[in-house]
Amino acid sequence: MPEFDSKKVADIHQQLHSHLPSDSALRIKALETLLVDKGLVNPDTIDAWVEAYSEEIGPKRGAEVVAKAWSDSKFKQKLMQDAPAAIDELGYLGKATAHLKVVENTDDVHNLVVCTLCSCYPFSILGIAPAWYKAAAYRSRAVRDPRGVLAEFGVHINNEVEIRVWDSTAELRYLVLPQRPAGTEQMGEDELAGLVTRNSMIGTDRDLGANPGRAY
């Protein structure tokens, strides 16, 4: 008779359940399927809008905040001291950013944002959270092995650089202010915003080269 390993079975059970969609995601999918079946919406259109908002429309607001902080020292100071008040000047204050804290990358510090309990995220300035941000693997490993997680994103941090992991909650969310790339002194805010990636504002991107038109 094969040996029964209860711990192994429990681990497999937990792993399987970690991949199941949430109840709200299942309801949304059911509603989408119903609308598509009735010919009321085109699934390609839905996918296009989701991609546009998650990859372009949403993150561009955050990129504008970063670019202004790079260009305007007074705005940066206010952003670091009272982020909600600063972004409200740009008209971007929302429910998800009313309790926002900005953390700055330096030569000696790299910041990484995660939400270990769920997937709290400043969507009013970053758009829809990427799927990997909500994944159980990222949420658990970002705290335990931040260097390993960053390496999987192609970001290799020297041991001399301190990594600070910030755990978001419903009451407090974080935005990383990446370092301004060298050689961008003559760039205006619009050009600078084009250098900022969504991932750099989460912390899974670090070195932003002077490469206008870079995808979010």
Exposure letters 44-72 (e unless 16+ CB within 10 A, then b): eeeeeeeeeebbeebbbbbbbbbbbbbbe
Q: Which of 119, 124, 168, 200 is catalytic?
A: 119
Q: Which of 120, 124, 168, 200 is catalytic?
A: 120
Exposure letters 118-133 (e unless 16+ CB within 10 A, then b): ebbbbbbbbbbbbeeb
Q: Is 118 annotated as catalytic?
A: yes
Q: Which of 22, 71, 115, 124 is catalytic?
A: 115
Q: How far apart are CA 166 and CA 203, in angstroms?
A: 10
Q: Which helix (H) or strand (E) holds 55?
A: none
Burial of 193 (0-12, 13-18, 19+ CB in 10 A): buried
Q: Which of 18, 24, 118, 140 is catalytic?
A: 118
Q: Is 120 annotated as catalytic?
A: yes
Q: Is 6 annotated as catalytic?
A: no
Pull the structure tokens for residue 43: 């699934």
Q: How far apart are CA 57 and CA 125, in angstroms?
A: 9
Q: Is 124 annotated as catalytic?
A: no
Enzyme catalytic residues = 115, 118-120
